[in-house]
Amino acid sequence: MPVATSCRVTGILAALLSLAGLSSLPASTPAVLNAVDSDPQKLGWMAGFPPPPEKLIMQPQSNYFSFPKLRWTVCHIRELLPTTQVSRGLGAPMPLSYNLDPAIDQVTFLPLGSDQAQSWEEALFTNYTDGMLVLHRGEVVYERYLGALDERGKHAAMSMTKSLTGLLAEILVVEGQLDDEALVSSIVPELTDSAFGNATVRQVMDMTTALDYSEDYSDPEADIWIYSAAASPLPKPADYQGPDGYFEYLQTVQSNGTHGEHFHYMTINTDALGWIVSRVSGKSVADLLSERIWQYMGAEQDAYMTVDAKGTPFAGGGLSAGLRDLGRIGLLMLNGGRVGDQQLFPQAVVDRIQAGGSREAFKAAGYSTLPGGSYRSMWWIFHNANGAYAARGVYGQTIYIDPTAEMVIVRFASFPFAQNAQIDPTSLPAYQAVADYLMDKAP
Beta strands in 44-117 (DSSP E): 83-86, 97-98, 108-109
Smallest Cα–Cα separation from 329: which of 146, 110, 168? 168
435 and 347 inside one domain: yes
pLDDT the model gives residue 44: 96
pLDDT the model gives residue 314: 97
393 and 290 inside one domain: yes
- pLDDT band, residue 7 (cuts 50/70/90): very low
424 and 298 inside one domain: yes
38 and 116 inside one domain: no
Residue 25 scores a pLDDT above 50: no
- pLDDT band, residue 23 (cuts 50/70/90): low
pLDDT the model gives residue 4: 35
**Cα 182 off chain centre by:** 26
Spatial separation of the C-alpha atoms in residues 312 and 306, rounded to whole Å: 8
Spatial separation of the C-alpha atoms in residues 281 and 201, rounded to whole Å: 15
How many CB atoms are located within 10 Å of the residue 366 CB? 8
Mean pLDDT of the 174-179 span: 98
CATH number at residue 214: 1.20.58.710
pLDDT tens-digit series, residues 292-313? 999 999 999 999 999 999 999 9
pLDDT the model gives residue 3: 36
Does residue 275 belong to any structural domain of this protein?
no
- Residue pair 227/15 in contact by the 8 Å Cβ criterion: no
Does residue 305 belong to any structural domain of this protein?
yes
Catalytic residue among 6, 18, 23, 159: 159
Give 3-state DSSP helix, strand, coil % of the chain, rounded to 5.
35, 15, 50
Smallest Cα–Cα separation from 138: which of 327, 347, 302? 327
- pLDDT band, residue 176 (cuts 50/70/90): very high
pLDDT tens-digit series, residues 384-404? 999 999 999 999 999 999 999
pLDDT the model gives residue 358: 97
Catalytic residue list contains 159: yes
pLDDT tens-digit series, residues 124-164? 999 999 999 999 999 999 999 999 999 999 999 999 999 99
75 and 116 inside one domain: no
Question: How many domains does the chain divide into?
Answer: 3
pLDDT the model gives residue 51: 95
Does residue 173 belong to any structural domain of this protein?
no
Does residue 31 belong to any structural domain of this protein?
yes
- pLDDT band, residue 12 (cuts 50/70/90): low
Residue 217 scores a pLDDT above 80: no
Spatial separation of the C-alpha atoms in residues 85 and 140, rounded to whole Å: 27
Spatial separation of the C-alpha atoms in residues 334 and 350, rounded to whole Å: 8
pLDDT the model gives residue 2: 37
List the domain range (segments joined by +) for residue 147.
97-166+282-441
Q: What is the DSSP string of 296-356?
A: TTT-SS-EEEEB-TT--B-TTT-EEE-HHHHHHHHHHHHTTTEETTEESS-HHHHHHHHH-
Smallest Cα–Cα separation from 373: which of 382, 386, 364? 382
User: Which of 8-22, 399-413, 428-442 bottoms out in mean pLDDT, i.e. has the lowest?
Assistant: 8-22
- Which residue type sits at 435? A
The answer to whether the pTM exceeds 0.75 is yes
323 and 242 inside one domain: no
191 and 338 inside one domain: no
Torsion sign, CA atoms 260, 261, 267, 268: negative
CATH number at residue 414: 3.40.710.10
